[in-house]
Amino acid sequence: MSSIPDNAPALVLNADYRPLSYFPLSVWNWQDAIRAVFRSRVHTLSLYDRKVHSPSCEMWLPSVIALKDYVSLSRRPAFTRFNVFLRDLFCCQYCKVRFPAQDLTFDHVIPRSRGGRTSWENVVTACSRCNLHKGNRMLGEVGLQLVRTPYMPTSFELQENGRAFPPNYLHESWRDFLYWDSELEDEPRTPMA
């Protein structure tokens, strides 16, 4: 191929062949993937049908790579706005409607002015309309109810929730690794000779 590939990201799997992250999906650009291959930090599991060239060699671009060393995921996820949205599946915890991330905010169930803390157990995903309606009041004062009581999720739970939101780009070589536990289709059996 004569031009440098712009869109050839490599899916990055942990040493157990599961993605490091489902949401956002763990991908590296083709340059980082090539560096990792040359430094023997990864196993190449699948290739694109595209090559890159240097003065001394040419190389097929990896589409799926697995780390040689296992990276442990933290048991306690970071308390971030995005992770709150992911815990709540991008669904307003008052009106039960799912929104894109840019249309969401978070709300303190017990307002900070009334002693509420900014923590997993007191912050929920809210749409702008519900958040403005609730304002600085308690749920009972405005007649709102929570879909679910806020809690601290596990990293595993956030990963599982992330699987429900596929990214915009999925190369066909990634599918076997992203849905490793999905049920396989029955294949017709051929009699053994």
Residue 73: predicted pLDDT: 78
- 116 touches 109 (CB < 8 A): yes
61: nearest Cα among 86, 77, 44: 44
Residue 173: predicted pLDDT: 87
Residues 6+ apart with CB under 8 A from 18: 177, 180
CA pair distance 162, 22, nearest whole angstrom = 5
Residue 179: predicted pLDDT: 65
Residue 183: predicted pLDDT: 47
CA pair distance 36, 28, nearest whole angstrom = 10
Beta bridge partners of 42: 67
- Read off the pTM: 0.70
SS3 183: coil
Sole residue written with tokens 């309309």? 129
Backbone angles phi, psi at 110, to 5 degrees: -95, 115
Residue 4: predicted pLDDT: 46
- Which residue positions in the chain have pLDDT lower than 50? 1-4, 180-193
